[in-house]
Structure 1
Amino acid sequence: MAKQPHIIIFNPDEMRGDALAHLGNPASITPNLDAFAANEAVSFGQAYCQNPVCVPSRCSFFTGLYPHVRGHRTMSHLLRPGETSMLKELKEAGYYVWMNDRNDLTAGQIPGWTESHATEIYYSGQKKQGPGNVNPDQRGEPGNKYYYSHYEGQLKCNAEGKNYNGDDEVVDAAIERIHNRPADQPLCMFLGLVYPHTPYRVEEPYFSTIDRAKLPKRVHADDCTGKPLMEAEIRKYAGMQDFTDADWDELRAVYLGMCMKIDVQFGKLVEALKEEGIYDDCAIFFLSDHGDFTGDFDLPEKAQNCFEDCLTRVPLLIKPPKNIPLDPGISNSMVELVDFYATAMDLAGVQPTHTHFGHSLRPVLADRSAKVRDYVFCEGGRQPGETHCDEYHRNSKNGKGAPTTTVYWPKMKAQSEDDAHAKGIMMRDERYKYISRTVGKDELYDLQADPQEMTNRIDDESLAPVVVDMQRKMLKWLEATDDIVPFELDERFTPEMLWARVRGLVPPEKEAEVRKMIADGTPFPVLMGYCHSLK
């Protein structure tokens, strides 16, 4: 077997696909990732997550399964015993699996379960964190336009001009393990970072470096028609109607400053791999779990059953080991994050222990024009009455619902409404995006004419054939992915049940022999044939 590569997974949280400069954002500053994509990796410009919030997305891309397959479509239903993950599979295949304590993958209440997925878990909080906000009262009192905005603005710097945060600590800990890695095992490192997840806050130089004048045009809610009820409900409860374009631009610039810091941290990790002389031996994956509204549709943060590209299109950059053919640059081949699972397992040379739905992207790494999918899918939401699936009831205090003091209250409150939190599936090809919902109005966008998804054309009769075709293909996709059959086979009978079926054929002196055959798992037809021969 060829030498197994080191698997390096750099996973920022809530990073939009268009947050990268090389994918066309004139305000973004991501030089390390841009150079990485240009010379050493493939950057997938059309990569899509399978759920627009953290836990379901991670449960999906670490297993190669869609959220509906095992019910992982909420923030409170994580992987449990009886399931597995890529991390656990690689560990069992001989990898030294290092991860930090970000999780959002395995059920934390089960003793030893999360630990079984890694060789080593780095627990954060061991280093002194940077000072707080320049304006600690930015949020203000209830009713203030910033109260539910998630915006905190500029962070202070310490005497050395730094603001050392939890992500800095994780990257430094990973680098320390790289410098002191095991000599006899390949590494698998999962860096689950927090930035650029809300709150929107960052220190200098990142705070001021983003040129506000270069920010792309924002999508205004008033310019849209036929958008999902969830977005209107969050806007209603958030009370940010007094937010001006200048306010939104500050929020957007801070978000891109956070992405700029992620880029610096990524560059630092890559440099450590090169210093150790193992960079060429690494398969490096840079991906985010989902995106962020960041002011589009007059919204901050995200929504669990909304499917605009700002939420579903994510960065995905892959550098294979040096011995794997590579055509570096940007690929417009449509891919899903479940393909990350398939690709990492393929490059590691490890056979998955379960059926999955990912496609290895090795062909696209060798030829960026190669095509692996005609459609991509994303899903979210819940059925009416599924209160265990919404965050409002999950975070209820004394049965009175989520507290209004939490900055997430507008989203949680909107989720408490069956119609707003309706279960939906997004299907997207290169031209159209169709969203089917179990409750309320479906959506259809002509992405060629309307790339910002401002006009829902589901009632446009001229596009009815498009809807029918996509509905048919969505049904076929659901039929193909609605379950998986375990590789492990079960026995229909217990040993005593088998003995009961043959005991009348077995002489007393042969009982021990036949019972041993049963214990050894002799197939029932063979067992019966042998017992009949004893008469």
Structure 2
Amino acid sequence: MADSRPNVLFVLTDQERYDCTAPEGPPVETPAMDRLSSEGMRFSRACTPISICTSARASLMTGLFPHGHGMLNNSHEADAIRPNLPPELPTFSELLAENGYDCSYTGKWHVGRDQTPEDFGFAYLGGSDKHHDDIDEAFREYREERGVPPGEVDLEEVLYTGDDPRDASEGTFVAATTPVDVEETRAYFLAERTIDAIEAHADGDSGEGDGNGSDPFFHRADFYGPHHPYVVPEPYASMYDPNEIDPPESYAETYDGKPQVHENFHYYRGADGLEWDHWAEATAKYWGFVSLIDDQLERILEALEEHGLADETAVVHASDHGDFVGNHRQFNKGPLMYDDTYRIPLQVRWPGVAEPGTTCEVPVHLHDLAATFLEMGGVDVPESFDSRSLVPLLETGDDPDAVPDDWPDSTFAQYHGDEFGLYTQRMVRTGRYKYVYNGPDIDELYDLKADPAELQNLIDHPGYADVREEMRDRLVDWMQETDDPNQGWVPDVLRDTP
């Protein structure tokens, strides 16, 4: 009997902002991602559980909030609290593989220092590394065959952080134009590897399962971008004119009334040396990077159609977290729980299930996808998972009355530190308000309707005293529901704080 379960193509980008594909967002050309929205469902209130690569990706694998899996900061750093995922934790990919799915993977990993996708049920097809962002051998060979070995090109319009944004001797590499052809970029290469996987599955020669093509496949394509450095070739490097990009509202940030770490981070990252003309240049490259990846996604979607797999394949696009790109005058990410880095894009095209052109305004988490993939595959979700399957939301369209009664009306997130140092944060966000608990400093409260740029911290505003208390109660509820170890003392601190 033929297996009727859907194939799943999961495309995860790295540090892609939510607004790049939002209808009300900037003029970024993303026809492929927009196509997924028009042919499926777009989630407008998707949130990452944590804005740091290893931790978010580990949550995606395990269906757990970071405090549950213990990978609280980046695994490649010397101060990694836990360099690898505990082997006893179930992951969605292992469970899918054990239940008949041909699982393959290409691109960025960054979940374990000594682990690879092959340790979690995937056939790994290359294009990445074992821990962070070094060039892997497969991509190196690809470039050498094309006569343009990595590292042997002269970049143009190079931008750095620091006092002199053109000085390569200090600061962090932010953006540049590369002279290579599009076909020589890693984004193109990863799309090629994904298309190869689609062709292999279509031919029944994936190297997994029974080899006759009857098993459904799960393929994960992890792009290196639009994470900095925003290095793109033409035509993407000049696709957006920096002179036509205005500062976002949050660029007016003064850090007045905010935790001191916000201003500290501004200087620590070297962002204090960047003026708006530099950020406009970086933003143009960032948008170009998004468009480059989108065009590669279009090639992948076309491959599904060419091989007759589009109607039986659920396509999911998300990002691990966002990126500041000058918003709040910040670079990268860090101990700042703004929507710039915590709100993420999420689109699901599932023919016959997700109603085309629908928008779901229910709050969801990135790691809800772990339970979603299992339900798609007819596999029981482990009791250890914190995540909830999105399948009921996909099946109900955009009807708010059809949302399950027990679905949360808020999202919960956290942060534990990176190379800047350990720093405890918890955040709860509803449709209108956001509350951030900062262990060593002042807390934050934002009215997202009145202040979508999150410029005014209302934590001490007498007119929001009731909101502050309500949001703190929500935070405590989340901590208790997810067995957050900080629940042993944080609730008492919140109750005793005005």
Residue of structure 2 equivalent to 1:344: 373
Residue of structure 1 equivalent to 2:174: 151
Identity %: 27
* 2:222 aligns with one of 187, 192, 202: 192
Contact 2:48 2:365 in 1 (8 A): yes
The structure that has the greater radius of gyration is: 1
Q: Distance in 1 between matches of 2:221 and 2:13?
A: 8
Q: Which amino acid aligns with 1:471?
A: R
Q: Distance in 2 between matches of 1:53 and 1:136?
A: 29
- Does 449-458 or 131-140 show the bigger shift? 131-140
Which protein is richer in strand relative to its size? 2
Contact 1:424 1:435 in 2 (8 A): yes
Residue of structure 1 equivalent to 2:300: 269
Cα deviation, 1:34-92, whole Å, max 9, x if unaligned, reads 12211x11111211000001111111122221111232221123312111211111111
Contact 1:64 1:341 in 2 (8 A): yes
Residue of structure 2 equivalent to 1:89: 95
Q: Which amino acid aligns with 2:52?
A: V
CA 1:291–1:453 in 2, change beyond 3 Å: closer, same or farther? Answer: same
Residue of structure 2 equivalent to 1:116: 119
- Does 3-12 or 174-183 show the bigger shift? 174-183
Alignment of 1:174 onto 2:194: yes
* 1:363 aligns with one of 392, 404, 409: 392
Runs (5+) with no aligned partner, structure 1? 383-389, 392-414, 485-535
Residue of structure 1 equivalent to 2:333: 302
How many equivalent residue pairs? Answer: 440
Alignment of 1:98 onto 2:104: yes
Question: Cα distance, 1:186 vs. partner?
Answer: 1.1
Question: Cα distance, 1:327 vs. partner?
Answer: 4.5
CA 1:345–1:203 in 2, change beyond 3 Å: closer, same or farther? Answer: same
Contact 1:26 1:215 in 2 (8 A): no
Q: Distance in 2 between matches of 1:207 and 1:326?
A: 36
Q: Distance in 2 between matches of 1:468 and 1:34?
A: 39
Q: Distance in 1 between matches of 2:340 and 2:95?
A: 32
CA 1:298–1:142 in 2, change beyond 3 Å: closer, same or farther? Answer: closer
Runs (5+) with no aligned partner, structure 2? 76-81, 128-138, 205-212, 486-498
* TM-score when normalising by structure 2: 0.83
Question: Cα distance, 1:215 vs. partner?
Answer: 3.4
Cα deviation, 1:476-511, whole Å, max 9, x if unaligned, reads 211111179xxxxxxxxxxxxxxxxxxxxxxxxxxx
- Does 471-480 or 221-230 show the bigger shift? 221-230
Contact 1:10 1:192 in 2 (8 A): yes
Cα deviation, 1:417-468, whole Å, max 9, x if unaligned, reads xxxx420011000111000122111000011110010111111122111111
CA 1:142–1:457 in 2, change beyond 3 Å: closer, same or farther? Answer: closer
Q: Distance in 2 between matches of 1:360 and 1:114?
A: 23
CA 1:274–1:323 in 2, change beyond 3 Å: closer, same or farther? Answer: same
Q: Distance in 1 between matches of 2:155 and 2:287?
A: 20
Q: Which amino acid aligns with 2:436?
A: I
Q: Which amino acid aligns with 1:336?
A: H
Q: Distance in 1 between matches of 2:423 and 2:162?
A: 28
Residue of structure 2 equivalent to 1:27: 27
* 1:127 aligns with one of 138, 142, 145: 142
CA 1:216–1:136 in 2, change beyond 3 Å: closer, same or farther? Answer: closer
Question: Cα distance, 1:233 vs. partner?
Answer: 1.4
Write out aligned runs for 1:390-409 (5 A).
390-391=418-419
Question: Cα distance, 1:222 vs. partner?
Answer: 4.2
* 2:319 aligns with one of 277, 288, 297: 288
CA 1:163–1:91 in 2, change beyond 3 Å: closer, same or farther? Answer: same
Contact 1:14 1:197 in 2 (8 A): yes
Q: Distance in 1 between matches of 2:195 and 2:466?
A: 54
Contact 1:327 1:368 in 2 (8 A): no
Contact 2:175 2:228 in 1 (8 A): no
Write out aligned runs for 1:455-494 (5 A).
455-482=456-483
CA 1:290–1:379 in 2, change beyond 3 Å: closer, same or farther? Answer: same
Contact 2:51 2:320 in 1 (8 A): yes
Helix, strand or coil at the partner of 2:446:
strand
Contact 1:64 1:356 in 2 (8 A): yes
Cα deviation, 1:389-443, whole Å, max 9, x if unaligned, reads x42xxxxxxxxxxxxxxxxxxxxxxx24xxxx42001100011100012211100
CA 1:19–1:81 in 2, change beyond 3 Å: closer, same or farther? Answer: same
Residue of structure 2 equivalent to 1:387: none
Contact 1:100 1:122 in 2 (8 A): yes
Question: Cα distance, 1:197 vs. partner?
Answer: 0.6
Q: Distance in 2 between matches of 1:23 and 1:72?
A: 34
Q: Which amino acid aligns with 2:216?
A: P
Cα deviation, 1:167-214, whole Å, max 9, x if unaligned, reads 221211111121121313211101111010110221111111124455
Cα deviation, 1:357-379, whole Å, max 9, x if unaligned, reads 22222233232243443001110
Question: Cα distance, 1:243 vs. partner?
Answer: 2.3
Q: Distance in 2 between matches of 1:8 and 1:94?
A: 16
Helix, strand or coil at the partner of 1:127:
helix
CA 1:462–1:140 in 2, change beyond 3 Å: closer, same or farther? Answer: closer
Q: Distance in 2 between matches of 1:457 and 1:140?
A: 34
Q: Distance in 2 between matches of 1:300 and 1:333?
A: 29
Q: Which amino acid aligns with 1:473?
A: R
